Chains A and B, each alone.
Chain A
């Protein structure tokens, strides 16, 4: 058995034992379906919800693997390995790097959903960010989700069930992942060879976001950046400080995303040139300019998303510190997210009253909302920092 306690195809999940137990009967029931018996423990559309970083898409992928595997998810047969590598011919994984999944993408999926599986037992369509479906796209999906072909399964993932349209939600069976317990995350990191103290810190600081915990454990720069961010609120004395701090956070976010985006874009542009034979002499193929424009549009949308994601991580770190202060103000015997800053946070909690802490939390949450509403990230950050300073 792997160190984190999940056997076979489920081994990628951290701290989700209850979920695995809940899904196991469905895997058995799926076998019954294939044998021609109706079994209510299985259904054809699933919605995986859970907080970011808890492993929604890993869970959905593991489930897909368990269903394709003749042994209920052994974790080492060809089917299991292909699914976990994302190369199984009958598991279509929709993974958007952009801001939305549009209706054209979904129409293609619906076509795929009408086909019988080629080598696998099921044809599985896994939408990793169902919350990014546009309304039009979600509507295009409805019919197929309600009554897919006999051997087709839809697996959707979203942070909460509110993030998908009610009409989609009502057609799915919902399974919820919990925020992985700090101990489980730390154990998973330790099994990867991270020292115990660092693993404990990363697990706490990530607040159950496994990807973030790994980044914190692995990369000293990420840890340093987090420390800088947490030191920010103490330095916001006048509006100038706030505007400069917002500028710095925004610039760093842009640099971070620039590094990621530039590599991806270069790769995709050269793949595009290869596919269309551009960059050489001769006529440009018909359809090439349109495809290029589409690719550029995707690039722009991905850059926007990368910047927002990066800013959001900063906000989450700032929020964790304010929550710690609030915890200290109400009960001093709890474990803090930022345990290593306990003395400092205690000082803040004594100097301020809870209502002030709450106002600060509101400022940060308001910033997340503003960014979700498409407010320019720099402006939203400035607003949040000015409110932090004035709270």
Chain B
């Protein structure tokens, strides 16, 4: 919210499910309000408990401050009989009141949203970026803080920290406050996050089915060091091997979307999967899935050393391949 704009006498709608971003929007709005009005008094209310009296009270002048801010959360839970009064207020807001209403997205309370939009309310949409747009979001986030980040560095940061935008925002903020005005590159990100790369369980499984025992074991060691929940790892292996079996022994005559549905992946993944099935035969796949099931029992309390059970699983899976290692 770079541009300074009129905030008093306005109703602003914040919609979206990304809790962290909503909170940040609220905080920025509050900061802006106190910038404009020295002694603004901000009240928070939950829409579910709102009735006509409460709304009137919230929007009437405060005894202690000339102007006031009102934040109403969860308007998807606003009682039906309050829809009218709120929309009416949106059409004619009190001149010395700044109001922010929050809607968590989704279909609930959609009718009210549409009526508010119809009343010409300013809307700020806050949605968590999709995983494939995360790097762009990181770049935008750093620009906001006056720092340039290289695309490769943004990618690396995303991989290291994961999809949690709260954690990502904190990471970006730290980088930017430590290096104001700098250009963040891969080396800098590495200096902060080396070794913390979040190990994706599927990476291990995919390396194992590709026959890359050394690579899979190396990643596994990291995962064990990171205390990744091992049932997630066996589940990733189960899904990976299961897909190979389903693809290798798919009923004849299927292709494209039908085949993808049968296998349980997206059509785009099929090519990659087909490559993976090279080097596998029926007996090897059966051995691999058997080993995964045994490992699942082991990590759920059957083994004294789950770490060893995991290594054993990785080696059995890679050893069950008949072809030369891929990649």
Contact = CB atoms under 8 A, between A and B. Distances in A.
A379 B235 CA distance: 9
A241 interface: yes
Contacts of A375: 293, 296-297, 300
Interface in B235-251: 235, 238, 242, 245-246, 248-251
A44 B286 CA distance: 53
* Interface range, A side: 20 to 34
A243 B296 contact: no
A204 B86 CA distance: 69
A383 B293 contact: yes
B286 A386 contact: yes
Q: Which of B250, B285, B286 has the most CB of A within 10 A?
A: B286
A111 interface: no
B293 A382 contact: yes
Contacts of B294: 383
B256 interface: no
Contacts of A376: 235, 238, 296
Contacts of A36: none
Chain A contact residues: helix, strand, loop or mixed: helix
B49 A370 contact: no
Contacts of A243: 242, 245-246, 249, 289
Interface string B276-291: 0000001101100110
A39 to B, nearest CB: 45
A383 B289 contact: yes
* Interface range, B side: 20 to 34
B49 A281 contact: yes
A373 B297 contact: yes
Nearest to B264: A247
A370 B250 CA distance: 27
B253 interface: no
A239 B286 contact: yes
B225 interface: no
Contact of A239 (B49, B235, B249): B249
B292 interface: yes
A240 interface: yes
A390 B286 contact: yes
B290 A240 contact: no
Nearest to A282: B49
A240 B245 contact: yes
A387 interface: yes
A386 B290 contact: yes
Nearest to B77: A281
A129 B286 CA distance: 37
Nearest to A371: B297
B106 interface: no
A380 B293 contact: yes
Interface in A348-391: 370, 373-376, 378-380, 382-383, 386-387, 389-390
B302 A240 contact: no
Contacts of B290: 383, 386-387
Contact of A370 (B234, B235, B297): B297
B126 interface: no
Given A240-B245, A375-B293, 13 more contacts: A238-B249, A238-B282, A239-B286, A240-B246, A240-B249, A241-B249, A243-B289, A370-B296, A373-B297, A373-B302, A383-B289, A386-B286, A390-B283
Interface of B: 48-49, 51, 79, 234-235, 238, 242, 245-246, 248-251, 282-283, 285-286, 289-290, 292-294, 296-297, 300-302
Interface of A: 238-244, 281-283, 370, 373-376, 378-380, 382-383, 386-387, 389-390
21 contacts: A239-B249, A239-B282, A239-B285, A239-B286, A240-B248, A240-B249, A241-B249, A243-B242, A243-B289, A281-B48, A281-B51, A283-B49, A373-B297, A374-B297, A374-B300, A376-B238, A379-B296, A382-B289, A383-B289, A386-B289, A390-B283
